Amino acid sequence: MAGILARKIFRNNLGGFSLIEVLVALFIQAFGMLGMTALQLKALKSTQAALIDSQVQFLLADMAERIRGNNNPAYEIAFTQHAPAISTDCAAVICSSDDLVAWDINQWRSRIENTAYLPEGESQIIFDNLTHTYDISIRYKWSRLGELDLLGEKRTVVITTSAQE
């Protein structure tokens, strides 16, 4: 009888998992879930950075096309300057070349300085009289995206375009 009882106890011990094995499995699963969550957060930050970079490229191309469409060396503004005042809505009426410059810069600057569009966006346009080219620059706060630029918190993107004559 003692032999039968010993076999029953021995079989019952081999029949399932111990509590330690279950806890180890749960720990490994939880660690994997934390890793997947961190990966998802990094992917979201990268997606946001790509969206803002795309918006900057769009704004740079937009101003380059405006300059080519209205070949006027008055397209010049520094980071610290305020956008020129506009007296005419060039979307509704035909404007002079100088009015169109002021309207273009004002429209462009209003989108760049909109914090919902770019984080702390600033812009400048510099005209080079020797080469008849424009350097169009946009800078914005990069640290909000989780990384710092090498020269500080703002990232600057520049394109150079020629004015057609």
> What's the average pLDDT block by block, 10 residues per block, for the chain (165 residues)?
55 67 92 94 87 92 91 87 84 89 92 88 90 91 60 79 72
pLDDT of residue 35: 94
Whole-number pLDDT of residue 81: 87
Identify whether 117 is part of a domain.
yes
What is residue 40's predicted lDDT score, i.e. its pLDDT?
Answer: 95
Residue 38 lies in a domain: no
Establish if 42 belongs to a structural domain. no
- CA-wise closest residue to 75 among 129, 134, 130, 121: 134
Q: Is residue 140 part of a domain?
A: yes
Within a domain: 58: yes
CB neighbour list of residue 79: distance below 8 Å, 6 or more residues apart: 122, 123, 124, 137, 139
**pTM for the model:** 0.74
- Residue 164's pLDDT is 65
The per-residue pLDDT for 27 is: 93
Distance in angstroms (rounded) separating the CA atoms of residues 104 and 120: 20
Q: Is residue 33 one of the residues assigned to a domain?
A: no
Structural domain for 69, as ranges: 49-162
What pLDDT is recorded for position 65?
92
In a domain, 57, yes or no: yes
Amino acid sitting at position 59:
L
pLDDT at 134: 92
The answer to whether the beta carbons of residues 163 and 71 sit under 8 Å apart is: yes
Q: What is the pLDDT of residue 156?
A: 85
User: What pLDDT sits at residue 48?
Assistant: 84
In a domain, 44, yes or no: no
What is the count of structural domains for the chain? 1
